[in-house]
Amino acid sequence: MGGMRAWPFLVLGALLVVGGIVAPGAPPAFAQGEAAPRRETHLGAGSCAASACHGDTKPKANEYTTWIQHDEHSEAYLHLTRGDGPKIAKRLGLSQPAREAPECLSCHAAAPQLYDHGDRYDMRWGVSCEICHGGSTQWLGPHAAPGWKEKSWGHKTALGMRDLSTPEQRVALCAGCHVGGQGNRTVDHDLIAAGHPPLFFDASAFMALKEPQWVHWTDETDLTQRTWFLGQVANLVAYLGRIERSAEDEKRWPDYAVFDCYSCHHDLDKDGHYATTEAVGPIGRPPFDAAFTSVLGRALAEMKPAAAQGLQTLGESLSAAYRNRDRAAVRESAASGASQARQFATAVESLDQAAASRILAWFDEHLDATEGLDHRIPRHEALQIAWAIHALVPNRQAQGFRAAYDELADSLSADGDYDPGVFAKKARAAIAAGR
């Protein structure tokens, strides 16, 4: 089998270093993962654009301006109409062009199968305000009136506004498209083979690492280790949801994209995969994609060992279901695994700088051994480790951290050049620089 093509990834190169601390606070309930979107009517970004509303250039009044100028969500539909979008749909042999296909609109726009539209709705708005904040037919007027800010979330959600006031709610929203969710929000191996980027989520990469002036949602609470950890949980919960849905649908079964890509996409010569790596699990069966489990598992091991054991057991029961080629058992195991995984969020209370430093120390040691063994850390896992380093180092302002992190990012930026040994060295240098 030939080598992998380049996968588009988040550009890690040009990232601002942003300060972060561990935020104290009570643990609110973890949002129920990626619930199916509510059937609601969207009026469109045009209703938010007035300069007296969100179309100004001043902070706290510039959300529309930021979104239309810098936020890629406002381009999401346009990517279905030009460039790779139409090609992907064609290669898949979809019966409609990408800009009309439910398989694509589900995440790239206010898909008609999920939302109703007001008279002046324009699909080109892509991932626009109401997809994240809730259909505004009932709250558009009231929210502009005096006293709205003081109203309770109970009041606001009754009018259809979505409560995004906790990191739990925010990360579940993002993972519902950036990993997948109900309502046709699925990027499986067919889409990936047709050219779609593989999806996985990390809150520090998607919320905190973005240039803060390019997105309007990042505030201090998103830059914390707490949000990073909750993002890892949301990543796992949405991944289990993806496995569950793949097992519900015979046509999507089995979805190769839930497994470690390299377990199939490797050279089979004598210097290939198993000659240089230790097989994980039963030989000849692909392991799960470590981008969803490995960093979270390590964090839990240092924070709440019983939960790490729970994750291990969950993985074993899921593996067993796959080994037996038992679709119903895979579905059940993924569904009960997702409820269990939501509970991992409570471990966030054990995440202090001491725990963060233990996680980093483990990476430091493990990556060292890794270099020696020439174990091939899959690239997705390597990205998750890099993002974790960014979130967990005690001192991002330390002299040299920025430069070391940029080098780490560079080692992951071009797929063709990805070298696990170089990655390991750069990762250890970044950990040392952030001490």
- Looking at residues 82 to 111 of the shown chain, list those that interact with ligand HEC (rule: CB under 6 A): 84-85, 88-89, 92, 98, 101, 103-104, 106-108
Closest CA to 253 of 263, 243, 262: 243
Residues 34-63 that bind ligand HEC (CB under 6 A): 45, 48, 54, 63
Q: Which residues contact 303 (CB under 8 A, 6 or more apart)?
A: 347, 350, 351, 355
CB of 306: closest distance to ligand HEC in angstroms? 30
Tell whether omega for the bond before 112 is within 30 degrees of 0, i.e. cis.
no
CB of 207: closest distance to ligand HEC in angstroms? 4
Distance CA 429, CA 363 (A): 11
CB of 315: closest distance to ligand HEC in angstroms? 16
Residues 114-173 that bind ligand HEC (CB under 6 A): 127-129, 131-133, 164-165, 170, 173
CB of 272: closest distance to ligand HEC in angstroms? 15
In the list 20, 43, 156, 189, the residue contacting ligand HEC (rule: CB under 6 A) is 189
Judged by beta carbon, residue 259 or residue 307, the one nearer ligand HEC is: 259
CB of 2: closest distance to ligand HEC in angstroms? 5
Q: Under the criterion CB under 6 A, does residue 174 sit at the interface with ligand HEC?
A: yes
Q: Under the criterion CB under 6 A, does residue 253 sit at the interface with ligand HEC?
A: no
Question: With CB under 6 A as the contact rule, which of the stretches 13-21, 76-84, 138-146, 315-323 interacts with ligand HEC?
Answer: 76-84
Distance CA 233, CA 357 (A): 19
Residues 393-412 that bind ligand HEC (CB under 6 A): none
Distance CA 169, CA 134 (A): 13
Q: Under the criterion CB under 6 A, does residue 322 sit at the interface with ligand HEC?
A: no
CB 312 within 8 A of CB 319: no
Distance CA 73, CA 90 (A): 23
Distance CA 155, CA 405 (A): 44
Residues 194-213 that bind ligand HEC (CB under 6 A): 196-199, 206-207, 210
Q: Which residues contact 345 (CB under 8 A, 6 or more apart)?
A: 27, 30, 168, 230, 233
**How many CA atoms within 13 Å lie on the side-chain side of 279?**
9
Residues 361-390 that bind ligand HEC (CB under 6 A): none
Judged by beta carbon, residue 327 or residue 358, the one nearer ligand HEC is: 327
How would you class 371 by CB atoms within 10 Å of its CB: exposed for 0-12, middle for 13-18, buried for 19 or more? middle
CB 434 within 8 A of CB 394: yes
CB of 5: closest distance to ligand HEC in angstroms? 4
